Structure 1
Amino acid sequence: MRRQPARRPFLLPLCLAGVVVSGCSTAGSGGPAEGGEGETQQTLAAESAAAGSSGFVVEEVDQFAEPWAMAFLPGSEDLLVTERSGELHLRPADGGERIPVEGVPEVVHEGQGGLGDVLPGPDFAQDQVVYLSWVEAGDGGTGAVVGRARLVQDGGSAALEDLEVIWQQTPKVDGTGHFSHRLALDPDGEHLFVSSGDRQQMDPAQDTSNTLGTVVRLTLDGEAAPGNPLEDEGGVTAQIWSWGHRNPLGLEFGPDGTLWSSEMGPEGGDELNVVEAGGNYGWPEVSDGNHYDGGEIPDHAEGDGFVAPVTSWVPSISPGSLLIYSGEMFPQWQGDALLGALSGQALVRVDLEDGQAQGSETFDLGQRIRAVEQGPDGAVWLLEDAGSGRLLRLTPEEA
């Protein structure tokens, strides 16, 4: 086992005085189900007024059924949105009638499983290639997969063509939790990174003969990328970039090329991490949280040989997504992490400086925030995955 020196964890409270939109969220851990089941109804007008007091207003622009991810198509403001049941939608920039995308693969829509992330390829303008992740059934149970296809548009219709599976979570196991399957491309557009959850199996996250509890680094064709930390061991081990992860549901490169992940802890101990090549992040040996049955887990500590989070949350916020903001619309947020909180029902901003957390803000939105995305103009877009499943657009409050 290869271990890296630990970072000293910087635990942040759920909110800081004077920066909360409409009160400090104190939602506890979501328990074994992803992000918990708690929901609070709140009027959009109340949200807009509250959010505006901290510098932004909230606009509802659409509604979806259990949405999971979104991505803007390069060179336009057209938006792809996935629904966990297996639907993929293309929402035109002009707000016209959205287009159902045909050719989406059959998915296992159970527990936390279903259609997951969507990501345009690095040369989308030339080849229309998009990447998708979803959950499939097979020998041994279920597992996440990643596929690649061309998005073909013809007037008012759209379809995925030449879809092929290029990566499979290994091994498939029983259960319907902790698939993770977030996607990210490095700034050079040469490598595809995939987060792979521990599938609620725990121990495999410390066993590099499989890809459970890892972040993998692949070529654009889904092969193990040359130069990976364990490439000499071959097989699926050669795919691994980092390991010791639990359920990393956010994966994002910052403007400086740093790879970040947000990760759900157990009962408390949600994490924001810098993902380092060859890093072992400690699960289930260490965590700033505890087991759901009350059993204690050793905290991250200096010198324990594991990479500690940049910051962690106790109690849990259940981070379901991650954006490292780089736009012009909110210049005060540039380089900061924006996390969608599920049980926390909020947008959480972590002030990042030189890879370290300097503080945080929690904007209470009263609904589970599944996805956070930056629009071409720098607006921040959010997806709620419960209630009415709203698509929200955040813009600065006028002076």
Structure 2
Amino acid sequence: MRAVIIAVAICLGFGAASAQTLETSAGKVTVTKMIGGLDTPWALEFLPGGGYVFTEREGSLFLVKEGKATKIKGTPSVVATGQGGLLDVMIPRDFAQTREIFLSYSKNVSGGVGAAVAVGILSADNTALTNVREIFQMNKGSGGGRHFGSRIVEARDGSLFVTLGERGDRPAAQDLSRHHGSVIRIQRDGSVPRDNPYVGNANVLPEIYSYGHRNPQGASLDAAGALWVAEHGAQGGDEVNRIKKGANFGWPVISYGRHYSGAKIGEGSAREGMEQPEHYWDPSIAPSGLMIYSGKLWPEWKGNLFVGSLKFDYISRLSGGDVGEVEQIKGEQTERVRDIVEGPDGAIWFISEGQGAIYRITP
């Protein structure tokens, strides 16, 4: 096993860390490459007691701990098509007791390809997922490889929020008989919480918590436990939304963007009964990954939102009160920022999909 771990480490470019500095509003920060040589990395999470796990979209899950990188066996089979594949990884707060790891991914479902969520137990030697079981899948799939969403966030009460894109099928985001374009809320065993907004409504899927989303690829809880998401618009109209129970966020009826053809989307930018974004970008930055910072290492950034840009290769820092972009953190390392998370010590970690690497920002 030791030889296998070393071989994986060499293949991934795991070795002596290299560091550079970037100028920010908080002064110079150090950006350190933690691991490189990755194949389309998508998500990153930390383990209690040290180490972290990350996914590669083609289907691999890795654990990095004490200078060693291990490929974890037993992950679900995925359909790696377009933007789909093995996507998010979530480590629950009680991992030390349960050793459960939650994964989102794309798979064949009725009608095409859709998103799913599974959970497995990490073996004692950290090399395999065991007792893997699927706890959710979209009720209908779609053709093509776009807009899977797929971030998983553990709520304060232990339930799970999962973001789901509309799979390029715009009208489906307003169809409550389909999971497309929604944020769902489920229990850890896949059952539906009794206080979900549409429980008991025969015309609505009970997992749906909010709807009218396009492709939410960033999600995080704030200090009060509220869920925030960052989602892709079309040509313009990328949004940051504070999720509300039972709310309709408007896509594709309202948007601050336009179709790629230049044509108007829906009815304009507002309609009664549909939510307005907390912030929107025009032009689009292609947001992916959202983190709300604790202030541990940079007190001046407490409560700020950090969102990765896939299109313009920077980390967007947004003020936490009247939400708006106040800074762009940018360097050669921030090429297609896919995910951004806070480490246990307050350091900011991010995945550079373009660099095939994971970086850490420290003072």
C-alpha deviation, 1:146, in angstroms: 0.0
* Among 184, 207, 230, the residue aligned to 1:262: 230
Structure 2 CA distance for aligned equivalents of residues 235 and 70 of structure 1: 36
- Matching residue of 1:66: 40
C-alpha deviation, 1:285, in angstroms: 0.4
Structure 1 CA distance for aligned equivalents of residues 175 and 219 of structure 2: 22
* Among 149, 167, 174, the residue aligned to 2:120: 149
Q: Deviations over 1:167-187 (max 9, x none)?
A: 001211111110111100112
- Matching residue of 1:174: 143
Structure 2 CA distance for aligned equivalents of residues 51 and 111 of structure 1: 34
Which residue type is aligned with residue 82 of structure 1? T
Q: Please tell me whether the aligned partners of residues 327 and 379 of structure 1 are also in contact (alpha carbons under 8 angstroms).
A: no
Tell me: CA distance 1:150–1:84, structure 2 relative to 1, closer, same or farther (3 Å). same
Query: What are the equivalent positions in structure 2 for 1:226-375 lying under 5 Å apart?
Result: 226-234=194-202, 237-297=205-265, 298-301=267-270, 304-353=272-321, 356-366=322-332, 367-375=335-343
Structure 1 CA distance for aligned equivalents of residues 285 and 124 of structure 2: 39
- Matching residue of 2:57: 84
Structure 2 CA distance for aligned equivalents of residues 193 and 259 of structure 1: 8
Tell me: CA distance 1:308–1:324, structure 2 relative to 1, closer, same or farther (3 Å). same
Q: Deviations over 1:30-78 (max 9, x none)?
A: xxxxxxxxxxxxxx87x6244598442211111122100010012x221
TM-score, reference length from structure 2: 0.90
Q: Please tell me whether the aligned partners of residues 119 and 184 of structure 1 are also in contact (alpha carbons under 8 angstroms).
A: yes
Which residue type is aligned with residue 328 of structure 2? T
SS in 1 for 2:151: strand
Which residue type is aligned with residue 44 of structure 2? M
Of 136-145 and 247-256, more deviation after overlay is shown by 136-145
Which residue type is aligned with residue 156 of structure 2? P
Structure 2 CA distance for aligned equivalents of residues 52 and 215 of structure 1: 34
C-alpha deviation, 1:327, in angstroms: 4.2
C-alpha deviation, 1:153, in angstroms: 3.1
Tell me: CA distance 1:77–1:236, structure 2 relative to 1, closer, same or farther (3 Å). farther
Q: Please tell me whether the aligned partners of residues 77 and 375 of structure 1 are also in contact (alpha carbons under 8 angstroms).
A: no
- Matching residue of 2:176: 208
SS in 2 for 1:357: coil
C-alpha deviation, 1:270, in angstroms: 0.4
Q: Deviations over 1:369-392 (max 9, x none)?
A: 001011000000010112x31111
Tell me: CA distance 1:218–1:380, structure 2 relative to 1, closer, same or farther (3 Å). same
Structure 2 CA distance for aligned equivalents of residues 262 and 81 of structure 1: 20
Q: Please tell me whether the aligned partners of residues 279 and 324 of structure 2 are also in contact (alpha carbons under 8 angstroms).
A: no
Q: Deviations over 1:348-370 (max 9, x none)?
A: 010012xx315521112341100
* Among 121, 127, 134, the residue aligned to 1:158: 127
Which residue type is aligned with residue 123 of structure 1? D
Could you list the runs of 5+ residues in structure 1 that have no partner in the other structure? Answer: 1-43
Structure 2 CA distance for aligned equivalents of residues 372 and 223 of structure 1: 29
Q: Please tell me whether the aligned partners of residues 370 and 383 of structure 1 are also in contact (alpha carbons under 8 angstroms).
A: yes
SS in 2 for 1:230: coil
Asked whether 1:126 is paired with 2:94, we answer no
Kindly tell me the number of residue pairs found equivalent between the two proteins: 342
Query: What are the equivalent positions in structure 2 for 1:368-383 lying under 5 Å apart?
Result: 368-383=336-351
Asked whether 1:140 is paired with 2:111, we answer yes
Structure 2 CA distance for aligned equivalents of residues 260 and 281 of structure 1: 12
* Among 66, 69, 76, the residue aligned to 1:98: 69
SS in 1 for 2:96: helix
Asked whether 1:225 is paired with 2:196, we answer no
Q: Please tell me whether the aligned partners of residues 22 and 28 of structure 2 are also in contact (alpha carbons under 8 angstroms).
A: no
- Matching residue of 1:385: 353
Q: Please tell me whether the aligned partners of residues 109 and 140 of structure 2 are also in contact (alpha carbons under 8 angstroms).
A: no
RMSD (CA atoms): 1.7
Q: Please tell me whether the aligned partners of residues 269 and 313 of structure 1 are also in contact (alpha carbons under 8 angstroms).
A: yes
Structure 2 CA distance for aligned equivalents of residues 54 and 235 of structure 1: 54
Could you list the runs of 5+ residues in structure 2 that have no partner in the other structure? Answer: 1-17
Structure 2 CA distance for aligned equivalents of residues 183 and 229 of structure 1: 19
TM-score, reference length from structure 1: 0.82
SS in 1 for 2:205: helix
- Matching residue of 2:157: 188
Tell me: CA distance 1:188–1:55, structure 2 relative to 1, closer, same or farther (3 Å). farther
Structure 1 CA distance for aligned equivalents of residues 347 and 24 of structure 2: 14
